[in-house]
Structure 1
Amino acid sequence: MTTSGARIAIVILAAGTARRFGALKQLQCIEGRSLVRRAADAAIATGLPVHVVTGAEHEAVAAQLAEIAVGIAHNLEWTRGMGHSLAFGVRSVVTASPSPDAVLVMLADQPMVSAEDLAELVREHRAHPLAIVAADYGERLGPPCLFPAPHFEALMTLDGDQGARAVLHANRAAVRALPMQHAAVDVDTPEDLARAAAALQKP
Protein backbone atom coordinates (compact mmCIF):
# COMPACT_ATOMS: atom_id res chain seq x y z
CA MET A 1 0.00 0.00 0.00
CA THR A 2 1.53 3.28 -1.08
CA THR A 3 0.46 6.91 -1.11
CA SER A 4 1.47 9.92 -3.17
CA GLY A 5 0.90 13.66 -3.38
CA ALA A 6 1.05 15.88 -0.32
CA ARG A 7 3.61 15.02 2.34
CA ILE A 8 1.85 13.35 5.26
CA ALA A 9 3.52 12.20 8.47
CA ILE A 10 1.96 9.75 10.92
CA VAL A 11 2.34 10.42 14.64
CA ILE A 12 1.56 7.53 17.01
CA LEU A 13 1.02 8.43 20.66
CA ALA A 14 2.53 5.79 22.96
CA ALA A 15 3.76 7.83 25.90
CA GLY A 16 1.29 7.35 28.74
CA THR A 17 1.63 5.19 31.83
CA ALA A 18 -1.79 3.44 31.59
CA ARG A 19 -2.76 3.58 35.27
CA ARG A 20 -6.15 1.92 34.67
CA PHE A 21 -4.55 -1.08 33.02
CA GLY A 22 -2.14 -1.79 35.87
CA ALA A 23 0.81 -2.22 33.50
CA LEU A 24 2.11 -0.40 30.45
CA LYS A 25 -0.60 -1.21 27.91
CA GLN A 26 1.59 -0.29 24.93
CA LEU A 27 3.55 -3.47 25.66
CA GLN A 28 0.55 -5.77 26.01
CA CYS A 29 0.23 -8.29 23.20
CA ILE A 30 -2.49 -9.46 20.84
CA GLU A 31 -1.61 -12.38 18.59
CA GLY A 32 2.05 -12.12 19.53
CA ARG A 33 2.51 -8.41 18.82
CA SER A 34 2.50 -5.57 21.31
CA LEU A 35 -0.09 -2.84 20.87
CA VAL A 36 2.57 -0.28 19.95
CA ARG A 37 4.07 -2.64 17.37
CA ARG A 38 0.64 -3.37 15.87
CA ALA A 39 -0.02 0.35 15.50
CA ALA A 40 3.40 0.96 13.97
CA ASP A 41 3.00 -1.94 11.52
CA ALA A 42 -0.37 -0.59 10.35
CA ALA A 43 1.12 2.88 9.91
CA ILE A 44 4.18 1.64 8.03
CA ALA A 45 1.96 -0.27 5.61
CA THR A 46 0.63 3.06 4.29
CA GLY A 47 4.07 3.93 2.94
CA LEU A 48 4.10 7.18 4.91
CA PRO A 49 6.82 8.26 7.36
CA VAL A 50 5.95 7.16 10.90
CA HIS A 51 6.97 8.73 14.20
CA VAL A 52 6.19 7.23 17.60
CA VAL A 53 6.04 9.44 20.70
CA THR A 54 7.34 7.56 23.72
CA GLY A 55 7.45 8.54 27.37
CA ALA A 56 6.83 6.05 30.19
CA GLU A 57 9.24 3.10 30.02
CA HIS A 58 10.81 4.61 26.91
CA GLU A 59 13.47 1.93 26.52
CA ALA A 60 10.99 -0.94 26.64
CA VAL A 61 8.63 0.71 24.16
CA ALA A 62 11.46 1.66 21.82
CA ALA A 63 12.71 -1.95 21.91
CA GLN A 64 9.40 -3.05 20.37
CA LEU A 65 10.19 -0.84 17.38
CA ALA A 66 13.89 -1.56 16.99
CA GLU A 67 13.64 -3.58 13.80
CA ILE A 68 11.24 -1.36 11.84
CA ALA A 69 11.58 1.97 10.08
CA VAL A 70 10.00 4.46 12.45
CA GLY A 71 11.25 7.62 14.04
CA ILE A 72 11.07 7.79 17.82
CA ALA A 73 10.39 11.05 19.64
CA HIS A 74 11.00 10.65 23.37
CA ASN A 75 8.90 13.13 25.35
CA LEU A 76 10.70 13.67 28.62
CA GLU A 77 7.66 15.57 29.93
CA TRP A 78 5.11 12.85 29.13
CA THR A 79 3.57 13.15 32.60
CA ARG A 80 2.00 16.44 31.47
CA GLY A 81 -0.62 14.41 29.60
CA MET A 82 -1.73 13.26 26.18
CA GLY A 83 -2.15 16.80 24.89
CA HIS A 84 1.45 17.63 25.67
CA SER A 85 2.67 14.41 24.02
CA LEU A 86 0.62 15.18 20.91
CA ALA A 87 1.99 18.72 20.76
CA PHE A 88 5.50 17.33 21.22
CA GLY A 89 5.03 14.77 18.45
CA VAL A 90 3.59 17.24 15.97
CA ARG A 91 6.34 19.74 16.76
CA SER A 92 9.00 17.09 16.18
CA VAL A 93 7.75 16.29 12.67
CA VAL A 94 6.81 19.84 11.67
CA THR A 95 10.27 21.16 12.51
CA ALA A 96 11.92 18.40 10.47
CA SER A 97 12.96 18.93 6.86
CA PRO A 98 10.94 18.70 4.73
CA SER A 99 7.99 19.70 6.87
CA PRO A 100 4.80 17.70 6.18
CA ASP A 101 1.66 19.19 4.66
CA ALA A 102 -0.52 17.16 7.02
CA VAL A 103 -0.22 15.00 10.13
CA LEU A 104 -2.19 11.81 10.78
CA VAL A 105 -2.59 11.18 14.51
CA MET A 106 -3.22 7.69 15.85
CA LEU A 107 -3.11 6.03 19.25
CA ALA A 108 -1.14 2.95 20.23
CA ASP A 109 -4.10 1.48 22.10
CA GLN A 110 -6.57 1.15 19.18
CA PRO A 111 -5.86 -2.42 18.01
CA MET A 112 -8.83 -2.57 15.62
CA VAL A 113 -7.47 0.23 13.42
CA SER A 114 -5.94 -1.18 10.25
CA ALA A 115 -3.66 0.06 7.51
CA GLU A 116 -6.70 0.29 5.22
CA ASP A 117 -8.44 2.56 7.73
CA LEU A 118 -5.45 4.87 7.67
CA ALA A 119 -5.32 4.74 3.88
CA GLU A 120 -8.99 5.73 3.77
CA LEU A 121 -8.23 8.82 5.84
CA VAL A 122 -5.41 9.68 3.46
CA ARG A 123 -7.63 9.23 0.39
CA GLU A 124 -10.22 11.55 1.90
CA HIS A 125 -7.48 14.09 2.58
CA ARG A 126 -6.27 13.89 -1.02
CA ALA A 127 -9.81 14.69 -2.18
CA HIS A 128 -10.33 17.46 0.41
CA PRO A 129 -6.87 18.78 1.35
CA LEU A 130 -8.07 21.65 3.53
CA ALA A 131 -10.42 19.56 5.67
CA ILE A 132 -9.67 17.74 8.90
CA VAL A 133 -10.51 14.05 8.46
CA ALA A 134 -11.54 12.07 11.54
CA ALA A 135 -12.88 8.67 12.50
CA ASP A 136 -16.59 8.73 13.30
CA TYR A 137 -17.36 6.31 16.14
CA GLY A 138 -21.10 6.76 15.72
CA GLU A 139 -21.67 9.11 18.65
CA ARG A 140 -18.42 11.08 18.57
CA LEU A 141 -15.33 11.81 16.52
CA GLY A 142 -11.79 10.88 17.42
CA PRO A 143 -8.48 9.35 16.33
CA PRO A 144 -7.22 8.30 13.96
CA CYS A 145 -7.56 11.75 12.49
CA LEU A 146 -5.69 13.76 9.90
CA PHE A 147 -4.92 17.47 10.22
CA PRO A 148 -3.69 19.69 7.38
CA ALA A 149 -1.03 22.31 8.05
CA PRO A 150 -3.36 25.21 9.01
CA HIS A 151 -4.15 23.28 12.21
CA PHE A 152 -0.57 22.53 13.25
CA GLU A 153 -0.35 25.57 15.51
CA ALA A 154 -3.45 24.52 17.45
CA LEU A 155 -2.07 21.00 17.86
CA MET A 156 1.29 22.29 19.05
CA THR A 157 -0.30 24.41 21.78
CA LEU A 158 -2.14 21.48 23.40
CA ASP A 159 -1.20 20.55 26.95
CA GLY A 160 -2.50 18.49 29.82
CA ASP A 161 -4.96 15.72 29.01
CA GLN A 162 -6.69 17.51 26.12
CA GLY A 163 -5.78 15.59 22.97
CA ALA A 164 -6.80 15.72 19.32
CA ARG A 165 -10.52 15.83 20.16
CA ALA A 166 -10.10 19.35 21.49
CA VAL A 167 -9.00 20.54 18.04
CA LEU A 168 -11.73 18.49 16.34
CA HIS A 169 -14.42 20.08 18.49
CA ALA A 170 -13.05 23.58 17.96
CA ASN A 171 -13.14 23.09 14.19
CA ARG A 172 -16.20 20.88 13.75
CA ALA A 173 -17.35 22.69 10.61
CA ALA A 174 -14.04 21.82 8.92
CA VAL A 175 -14.18 18.09 9.77
CA ARG A 176 -15.01 15.34 7.30
CA ALA A 177 -16.12 12.31 9.31
CA LEU A 178 -15.44 8.77 8.10
CA PRO A 179 -17.54 5.98 9.65
CA MET A 180 -15.13 3.87 11.70
CA GLN A 181 -16.96 2.49 14.72
CA HIS A 182 -14.28 -0.10 15.46
CA ALA A 183 -11.83 2.75 16.11
CA ALA A 184 -13.79 3.40 19.31
CA VAL A 185 -12.28 0.17 20.70
CA ASP A 186 -9.37 1.26 22.84
CA VAL A 187 -7.55 -0.67 25.53
CA ASP A 188 -7.80 0.83 29.00
CA THR A 189 -8.17 -2.36 31.06
CA PRO A 190 -7.21 -6.05 30.77
CA GLU A 191 -10.85 -6.76 29.97
CA ASP A 192 -10.66 -4.35 27.03
CA LEU A 193 -7.59 -6.18 25.77
CA ALA A 194 -9.36 -9.56 25.96
CA ARG A 195 -12.40 -8.19 24.11
CA ALA A 196 -10.24 -6.68 21.37
CA ALA A 197 -8.30 -9.91 20.96
CA ALA A 198 -11.54 -11.88 20.64
CA ALA A 199 -12.94 -9.42 18.09
CA LEU A 200 -9.81 -9.62 15.96
CA GLN A 201 -10.11 -13.39 15.82
CA LYS A 202 -13.57 -13.24 14.27
CA PRO A 203 -13.67 -13.73 10.48
Structure 2
Amino acid sequence: MKNIAVLVLAAGKSSRMNGIKQLEKINNKTLLDITLEKLKCIFSDEIYCVLGANAAKIKAKITSKNIQFIENPNYEKGLSSSIISGIQYFKKEALKFDGIYILLADQPAIEIAYLESLLVLFKEHKDIIIASNYGNKLGVPAIFPKKYFPELLLIKGDKGAKEFINQRKNEVVCPESSTNFFDIDTKEDLELFKNS
Protein backbone atom coordinates (compact mmCIF):
# COMPACT_ATOMS: atom_id res chain seq x y z
CA MET A 1 0.00 0.00 0.00
CA LYS A 2 2.62 2.50 -1.20
CA ASN A 3 0.33 5.50 -1.55
CA ILE A 4 -0.76 5.68 2.10
CA ALA A 5 1.33 6.79 5.05
CA VAL A 6 0.42 5.32 8.42
CA LEU A 7 0.77 7.76 11.30
CA VAL A 8 0.63 6.32 14.82
CA LEU A 9 0.15 9.02 17.45
CA ALA A 10 2.22 8.15 20.52
CA ALA A 11 3.63 11.48 21.72
CA GLY A 12 1.55 12.05 24.85
CA LYS A 13 3.05 12.23 28.33
CA SER A 14 0.50 9.80 29.82
CA SER A 15 -0.35 12.11 32.71
CA ARG A 16 -3.25 9.89 33.85
CA MET A 17 -1.17 6.70 33.72
CA ASN A 18 1.57 7.49 36.27
CA GLY A 19 4.12 5.95 33.97
CA ILE A 20 5.02 5.74 30.30
CA LYS A 21 1.79 4.46 28.76
CA GLN A 22 3.35 3.50 25.43
CA LEU A 23 5.63 1.05 27.30
CA GLU A 24 2.98 -0.54 29.53
CA LYS A 25 2.86 -4.26 28.80
CA ILE A 26 0.09 -6.65 27.85
CA ASN A 27 1.21 -10.27 27.45
CA ASN A 28 4.86 -9.14 27.49
CA LYS A 29 4.41 -6.68 24.62
CA THR A 30 4.36 -2.93 24.97
CA LEU A 31 1.17 -1.12 24.11
CA LEU A 32 2.94 0.64 21.24
CA ASP A 33 4.45 -2.59 19.86
CA ILE A 34 1.00 -4.21 19.85
CA THR A 35 -0.27 -1.48 17.51
CA LEU A 36 2.88 -1.42 15.37
CA GLU A 37 2.92 -5.20 14.92
CA LYS A 38 -0.69 -5.21 13.73
CA LEU A 39 0.21 -2.56 11.18
CA LYS A 40 3.25 -4.56 10.02
CA CYS A 41 0.81 -7.33 9.06
CA ILE A 42 -0.77 -4.92 6.56
CA PHE A 43 1.99 -2.50 5.56
CA SER A 44 5.56 -3.43 4.67
CA ASP A 45 6.78 0.14 5.04
CA GLU A 46 5.54 3.73 5.29
CA ILE A 47 4.73 3.31 9.00
CA TYR A 48 5.51 6.47 10.94
CA CYS A 49 5.22 6.88 14.69
CA VAL A 50 5.06 10.31 16.30
CA LEU A 51 6.83 10.51 19.66
CA GLY A 52 7.20 13.39 22.09
CA ALA A 53 7.36 12.82 25.84
CA ASN A 54 9.93 10.16 26.77
CA ALA A 55 10.85 9.69 23.10
CA ALA A 56 14.34 8.27 23.74
CA LYS A 57 13.11 5.79 26.37
CA ILE A 58 10.29 4.62 24.10
CA LYS A 59 12.54 4.19 21.04
CA ALA A 60 14.98 2.15 23.12
CA LYS A 61 12.27 -0.32 24.19
CA ILE A 62 10.29 -0.75 20.97
CA THR A 63 11.03 -4.05 19.22
CA SER A 64 9.07 -3.46 15.98
CA LYS A 65 11.43 -2.97 13.02
CA ASN A 66 11.34 -0.58 10.04
CA ILE A 67 9.33 2.07 11.84
CA GLN A 68 10.14 5.71 11.06
CA PHE A 69 10.00 7.87 14.16
CA ILE A 70 8.97 11.52 13.99
CA GLU A 71 9.66 13.74 17.00
CA ASN A 72 6.96 16.20 18.01
CA PRO A 73 8.53 19.01 20.06
CA ASN A 74 5.07 20.49 20.67
CA TYR A 75 3.49 17.33 22.13
CA GLU A 76 2.16 19.27 25.16
CA LYS A 77 -0.26 21.04 22.78
CA GLY A 78 -2.21 17.80 22.32
CA LEU A 79 -2.97 15.22 19.65
CA SER A 80 -3.39 17.85 16.95
CA SER A 81 0.28 18.78 17.23
CA SER A 82 1.28 15.18 16.43
CA ILE A 83 -0.84 15.13 13.27
CA ILE A 84 0.72 18.44 12.24
CA SER A 85 4.23 17.10 12.99
CA GLY A 86 3.58 14.12 10.74
CA ILE A 87 2.28 16.13 7.79
CA GLN A 88 5.09 18.70 8.14
CA TYR A 89 7.63 15.87 8.14
CA PHE A 90 6.17 14.45 4.91
CA LYS A 91 6.37 17.90 3.30
CA LYS A 92 9.94 18.48 4.47
CA GLU A 93 11.07 15.08 3.18
CA ALA A 94 9.13 15.60 -0.08
CA LEU A 95 7.12 12.43 0.57
CA LYS A 96 3.94 12.33 -1.46
CA PHE A 97 0.99 10.21 -0.35
CA ASP A 98 -2.60 9.90 -1.54
CA GLY A 99 -3.75 9.52 2.03
CA ILE A 100 -2.71 9.41 5.65
CA TYR A 101 -3.96 6.65 7.96
CA ILE A 102 -4.13 7.97 11.53
CA LEU A 103 -4.25 5.69 14.58
CA LEU A 104 -3.72 5.98 18.30
CA ALA A 105 -1.19 3.87 20.18
CA ASP A 106 -3.53 3.06 23.08
CA GLN A 107 -6.28 0.97 21.46
CA PRO A 108 -4.85 -2.57 21.65
CA ALA A 109 -8.13 -4.42 20.98
CA ILE A 110 -8.63 -3.11 17.44
CA GLU A 111 -8.47 -6.06 15.06
CA ILE A 112 -6.32 -6.33 11.93
CA ALA A 113 -9.40 -7.19 9.84
CA TYR A 114 -11.02 -3.94 10.95
CA LEU A 115 -7.93 -1.90 10.05
CA GLU A 116 -7.95 -3.56 6.62
CA SER A 117 -11.63 -2.72 6.13
CA LEU A 118 -10.80 1.00 6.21
CA LEU A 119 -8.24 0.46 3.45
CA VAL A 120 -10.80 -1.34 1.30
CA LEU A 121 -13.14 1.63 1.66
CA PHE A 122 -10.36 4.08 0.84
CA LYS A 123 -9.69 2.28 -2.45
CA GLU A 124 -13.36 2.80 -3.35
CA HIS A 125 -13.66 6.38 -2.02
CA LYS A 126 -10.33 8.13 -2.52
CA ASP A 127 -11.66 11.67 -2.06
CA ILE A 128 -13.51 11.41 1.24
CA ILE A 129 -12.56 10.63 4.83
CA ILE A 130 -12.80 7.01 5.95
CA ALA A 131 -13.45 7.03 9.70
CA SER A 132 -14.50 4.83 12.60
CA ASN A 133 -18.02 5.00 14.01
CA TYR A 134 -18.18 5.16 17.82
CA GLY A 135 -21.97 5.26 17.83
CA ASN A 136 -22.67 8.91 18.55
CA LYS A 137 -19.31 10.22 17.29
CA LEU A 138 -16.81 9.52 14.53
CA GLY A 139 -13.09 9.17 15.14
CA VAL A 140 -9.86 7.33 14.45
CA PRO A 141 -8.63 5.00 13.12
CA ALA A 142 -9.30 7.10 10.03
CA ILE A 143 -7.85 7.73 6.59
CA PHE A 144 -7.63 11.26 5.22
CA PRO A 145 -7.15 11.90 1.48
CA LYS A 146 -4.35 14.33 0.57
CA LYS A 147 -6.81 17.12 -0.24
CA TYR A 148 -7.38 17.47 3.54
CA PHE A 149 -3.68 17.83 4.46
CA PRO A 150 -3.66 21.67 4.32
CA GLU A 151 -6.72 21.82 6.59
CA LEU A 152 -5.26 19.27 9.01
CA LEU A 153 -2.25 21.56 9.45
CA LEU A 154 -4.62 24.11 11.04
CA ILE A 155 -6.18 21.91 13.74
CA LYS A 156 -5.56 22.70 17.41
CA GLY A 157 -5.86 21.13 20.84
CA ASP A 158 -6.29 17.62 22.17
CA LYS A 159 -9.34 16.62 20.14
CA GLY A 160 -6.98 15.70 17.32
CA ALA A 161 -8.71 14.41 14.22
CA LYS A 162 -12.01 13.63 16.00
CA GLU A 163 -13.37 17.17 15.90
CA PHE A 164 -12.15 17.61 12.32
CA ILE A 165 -14.03 14.47 11.22
CA ASN A 166 -17.23 15.31 13.11
CA GLN A 167 -17.37 18.75 11.50
CA ARG A 168 -17.40 17.05 8.08
CA LYS A 169 -19.86 14.18 8.60
CA ASN A 170 -21.22 14.56 5.07
CA GLU A 171 -17.70 13.88 3.73
CA VAL A 172 -17.18 10.66 5.69
CA VAL A 173 -17.73 6.95 5.04
CA CYS A 174 -17.45 4.36 7.83
CA PRO A 175 -16.99 0.59 7.60
CA GLU A 176 -20.10 -1.46 8.30
CA SER A 177 -18.08 -3.68 10.60
CA SER A 178 -16.98 -2.53 14.04
CA THR A 179 -14.28 -3.45 16.54
CA ASN A 180 -13.36 -2.94 20.18
CA PHE A 181 -12.24 0.71 20.45
CA PHE A 182 -11.37 0.46 24.16
CA ASP A 183 -8.57 2.89 24.87
CA ILE A 184 -6.18 2.72 27.76
CA ASP A 185 -5.56 5.95 29.67
CA THR A 186 -5.10 4.81 33.28
CA LYS A 187 -3.70 1.86 35.25
CA GLU A 188 -7.32 0.89 35.97
CA ASP A 189 -8.06 0.79 32.22
CA LEU A 190 -5.01 -1.41 31.73
CA GLU A 191 -6.07 -3.86 34.44
CA LEU A 192 -9.64 -3.89 33.13
CA PHE A 193 -8.37 -4.73 29.65
CA LYS A 194 -6.01 -7.45 30.91
CA ASN A 195 -8.87 -9.07 32.83
CA SER A 196 -11.44 -8.86 30.04
TM-score by length of 1: 0.89
Judge conservation of contact 1:134–1:144 (CA < 8 Å) in 2: yes
Gaps of 5+ in 1: none
Q: Deviations over 1:145-199 (max 9, x none)?
A: 110011111212222223001210121101111242412x000111111222233
Matched, 1:124 2:121: yes
Shift of 1:82: 1.1
Matched, 1:74 2:76: no
AA paired with 1:45?
Answer: C
| Other-structure match for 2:189 | 192
Matched, 1:150 2:147: yes
Mapped to 1, the partners of 2:87 and 2:193 lie a distance apart of 28
Matched, 1:26 2:36: no
AA paired with 1:33?
Answer: K
Shift of 1:94: 4.3
The within-5 A match list for 1:12-161 is 12-47=8-43, 48-65=45-62, 67-161=64-158
TM-score by length of 2: 0.92
Root-mean-square deviation (CA, aligned residues, Å) is: 1.6
Q: Deviations over 1:33-61 (max 9, x none)?
A: 11111111111211251000000001111
* Count of matched residue positions in the alignment of Structure 1 and Structure 2: 194
Shift of 1:95: 4.0
Mapped to 2, the partners of 1:122 and 1:66 lie a distance apart of 25
AA paired with 1:26?
Answer: Q
AA paired with 2:180?
Answer: H
Judge conservation of contact 1:94–1:100 (CA < 8 Å) in 2: no
| Other-structure match for 1:11 | 7
AA paired with 1:24?
Answer: I
AA paired with 2:73?
Answer: L
Gaps of 5+ in 2: none
